[in-house]
Amino acid sequence: QKLKVDLGEAVEQGGLHVVYQPMYKPNGTRIECCEALVRWVHPERGSIPPNVFIQIAEEMGIVSEITRFVLQQACADCASWPGDIGVSVNLSVQDLRNENILDVVSDALGEAGLPASRLHLEVTEGSLLAEMGVARSILTHLRSRGVTIAIDDFGTGFSSLSYLDNLPVDVIKIDRSFVRNISEEARGFRLLRGIVHLSRELDLRIVVEGVETEEQLMLLNKYQCADLIQGYVFSVPLPSKSLLGLMEALA
Ligand code: G
Ligand code: G
Ligand code: MN
Ligand code: NA
């Protein structure tokens, strides 16, 4: 309960910050986009994981304020990056319930002077299932304005695959659980290759998340499983300023 009070204060008083994890071309020669990840360092308890405090914020009904902050920060930071590197922001299930999000996105883009084509939004399978009707309308609007829509944690939401044909989606981010134990023969990797095949048939771009080792990267590349790779093998999430040098070299 104290954590709730503290979170409310942090949200109001600038106690959150945002770090970014790059998504690379599979050969590592280019950064295309960076995922914005919110952070909260509690004054006494130290770093609180976002899945913990996002859930608390959802219970408190203040997650939209966190989304607004992350969108503003992410658009402003992205506008300072070289080339046309994009930024990808996570939406929570509650953001897909309310058409206010359309104005929040427009305002963040407008204030930063960032073209919509550089903004990506990530929604989980679970939140789409929970909010199918409104979510579809919201995502359709955003996409018609030029924002890219990605399905996050793909393959973990127990969803019917038919929804892929029905939703305005451009990118799927294959969940890191498919990568953890990959080897050529593993069923999990065969499943991943199947998802990749299906996604290509539907003209979806594929991001593979949670790639940690060179071995995983080599195997994914051998079967051309990814359009973009995100994971510790290339970079951990970092502050925008720390990424600038790397971006200048790879943009
Ligand atoms: O960065 P990390 O791996 O600790 O993130 C854990 C979870 O928190 C991930 O599922 C991620 O999607 C979620 N998360 C991180 N930043 C945000 C954010 O700004 N908004 C929402 N809704 N979720 C976030
Ligand atoms: O669920 P979502 O994809 O939004 O969460 C991204 C989270 O995954 C980030 O919090 C990030 O810290 C974490 N992450 C990123 N790369 C790796 C990785 O290579 N291995 C593991 N275990 N976690 C990762
Ligand atoms: Mn994400
Ligand atoms: Na994910």
Ligand 1 contacts CB of residue 49 (under 6 A): yes
List the chain pLDDT tens, one digit each, 251 residues: 799 999 999 999 999 999 999 999 999 999 999 999 999 999 999 999 999 999 999 999 999 999 999 999 999 999 999 999 999 999 999 999 999 999 999 999 999 999 999 999 999 988 887 777 888 899 999 999 999 999 999 888 766 667 777 788 999 999 999 999 888 888 889 989 999 999 999 999 999 999 999 999 999 999 999 999 999 999 999 999 999 999 998 86
Q: Which CATH class is domain 2-237?
A: alpha beta
Predicted ipTM?
A: 0.96
pTM above 0.90, yes or no: yes
* Distance from the alpha carbon of residue 90 to the mean position of ligand 2, in angstroms: 12
- In a 13 Å sphere around the CA of 32, the CA atoms on its Cβ side amount to 16
248 alpha carbon to ligand 3 midpoint, in Å? 24
- Is 188 near ligand 1, meaning CB less than 6 Å away? no
DSSP 8-state code for residue 238: B
Ligand 2 pocket: which of 209, 211, 234, 238 to mutate (most atoms within 8 A of CB): 209
Nearest CA to 169 out of 161, 179, 178 is that of: 161
Query: Helix, strand, or coil here: 219?
Result: helix
Domain boundaries defined on the chain = 2-237
Residue 225 CA from chain centroid, whole number? 19
Q: What residue spans of 116-160 are helical by DSSP H?
A: 125-130, 132-144
- 152 within ligand 2 shell (Cβ under 6 A): yes
